[in-house]
Amino acid sequence: MNRIQLNAEMLKKNIELLKCPICGESMRVAEMKSLICPYGHTFDIAKQGYVNLLARPVHTHYGKALFEARRNIIVHHGFFNPLIQKLTACIGEVAAASDQRIDLLDLGCGEGSHLAAICQKLVKDYSFHIMGSGVDIAKEGIQLASKHYPDQLWFVGDLAQPAFADHQFDFILNILSPSNYQVFDQLLKPGGRIIKVIPSGGYLKELRTSFYEEEKISYSNAEIKALFLNHFSNARTETVSYVARLNHEGVQDLLQMTPLAWTAAEEKREEWMKKKSAEISVDFDILIGNKSF
């Protein structure tokens, strides 16, 4: 079977997760090449295996070069390894008592490396039966995800109106991405968890200090945390803080990946691009809330 057919089989086995993004009706796999709803709204499976569920094309500032740099940072430089380990533990500790399949959704998955790594570690460390699905509005990211990680389902879609059926997911990941709390509530199963990762004050502080004036050097996530607590009163916070050492290629990938560098003065960027290595602070808050009904 080719990649389209392989993914069609996987979609058939997980079709209950999906709904039509146009009318909200259920979907089915048609002729091993498309998703279709009862009203005839049709979405083809791309040759790479993903499905584009956007009603119309969307332009983003996130191109292929950014996502390739992000994948390098995650996979080849291990920049986020402690975060991935912590997220795996957060899921594993909650789900350890269950012998049921775990449905995990990454909303704003980028090129998919976080989700793929977490799924792999959950299988290895906990022997879970897990189905991972990733959605992002940037087609370039989903194309890379589908190319490198065939064990998960990948969709181009609107994070504010994702094409998933209600109450289908045990866990939702939202890593350094915008949030829609109504969507979280809608998609989570009763008792399901939302795990949101946000930068804390020390995140990439070396870049902030180098690139910007005093008013942009400091960063606070207090407003985001307060909004999360408004929606999930029983939420808890975990922290992950460490210093990552990057070689020359890693520094270049980081500058390509982070929006912090995009508006920096050219001479400052060039100065960093020439570095043979750098120690970079990584500082995250992990906000965990559970759906109580």
DSSP helix/strand/coil, 24: coil
Say whether 111 counts as a known binding-site residue: yes
Say whether 80 counts as a known binding-site residue: yes
Exposure letters 187-201 (e unless 16+ CB within 10 A, then b):
bbeeebbbbbbbbbe
Which residues are within 8 A (CB) of 214 and not within 5 positions of it... i.e. 6 or more apart?
Answer: none
DSSP 176: S
Say whether 37 counts as a known binding-site residue: yes
Note whether 150 and 83 are within 8 A (CB).
no
DSSP 45: B
Which position has the token pair 């290895």? 124
Phi, psi of 23 (to 5 degrees): -115, -15
Q: What is the 3 state secondary structure string of 214-253?
A: HHHHCCCCHHHHHHHHHHCCCCEEEEEEEEEEEEHHHHHH
Say whether 112 counts as a known binding-site residue: yes
CA distances from 51 to 81, 166, 170, 229 (A): 29, 19, 22, 34
Q: Which positions make up the binding site for Zn(2+)?
A: 20, 23, 37, 41
Residue numbering of the annotated binding site: 20, 23, 37, 41, 80, 111-112, 203
Annotated binding site for S-adenosyl-L-methionine: 80, 111-112, 203
